[in-house]
């Protein structure tokens, strides 16, 4: 999960392709990351990723197995924070 969340913001080329091979961010880099405007956005993202992984496990599919379709429902403010719209 850490790899996925990290890739949303910091993934790049070479050593920066993976959180496991990149250098630690500086204090300034961490401070530059915007705090979500909607409280609970991170928790909602964790919940979505947990449900995706659980569904793959139940279906006996690899974590690399692609998700063909995903439907997320919830409060409008959280959906907007995901960029999913309402």
Q: What is the pLDDT of residues 34-68, one digit of tens each?
A: 877 777 777 888 888 899 999 999 999 998 898 88
**Across 5-34, average pLDDT:** 80
**Are 76 and 48 contained in the same domain?**
yes
- pTM for the predicted model, two decimal places: 0.54
What are the φ/ψ torsions at residue 55 (nearest 5 degrees)?
-65, -40
**Are 23 and 53 contained in the same domain?**
no
Percent of the chain having pLDDT more than 70? Answer: 90
Give every CB contact of residue 5 below 8 A, 6+ residues apart in sequence: 45
**Are 55 and 75 contained in the same domain?**
yes
| Distance from C-alpha of 62 to C-alpha of 75, rounded to nearest angstrom | 30
**Are 53 and 19 contained in the same domain?**
no
**Are 46 and 85 contained in the same domain?**
yes
Residue with tokens 């990351």: 33
**Are 25 and 63 contained in the same domain?**
no
Residue 54, domain extent: 38-86
Query: What pLDDT is recorded for position 34?
Result: 80
- How many structural domains is the chain composed of? 2
**Are 21 and 48 contained in the same domain?**
no
**Are 11 and 45 contained in the same domain?**
no
Q: How many CB atoms lie within 10 A of CB 76?
A: 10
| Distance from C-alpha of 82 to C-alpha of 76, rounded to nearest angstrom | 10
Local confidence band at 86 (pLDDT 50, 70, 90 cut-offs): very low
């Amino acid at each position: 999960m850490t790899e996925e969340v990290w890739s949303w913001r910091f993934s790049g080329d070479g050593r920066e392709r993976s959180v496991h091979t990149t250098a630690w961010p500086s204090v300034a880099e961490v401070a530059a990351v915007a705090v979500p405007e909607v409280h609970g956005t991170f928790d909602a993202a964790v919940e979505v990723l947990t449900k995706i992984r659980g569904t793959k496990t139940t279906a006996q599919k690899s974590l690399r197995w692609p998700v063909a379709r995903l439907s997320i429902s919830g409060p409008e403010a959280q959906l907007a924070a995901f960029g999913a719209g309402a």
